[in-house]
Amino acid sequence: AENDGKNLYIYPQGNNFSAGADLKLLLSYIEDKNFHDLENLLKLGQQTMLH
């Protein structure tokens, strides 16, 4: 997809699907207004996807 300049869609076809992140942890950072750790988690995810 990257080499052809096309979109890549990943979606579940079964009952279980992983978003690739701990969404409960993400939600807890938002609810606690812990934006420092939230930003670090998002940066880590972005860096992981780039490499």
| More confidently predicted of 15 and 26 | 26
What value does the mean pLDDT take over residues 16-34? 86
Q: Delimit the domains of the chain by residue range.
A: 21-51
Is the pTM above the cut of 0.85? no
**Region 18-42 average pLDDT:** 90
With beta carbons less than 8 A apart as the criterion, state whether 35 and 28 touch: no
Average pLDDT over residues 34-42: 96
Distance CA 11, CA 8 (A): 10
Q: Report the candidate in 6, 13, 15, 2 with the shortest Cα–Cα distance to residue 49.
A: 2
Any idea of the CA torsion for 14, 7, 26, 48, to the nearest 10 degrees?
110
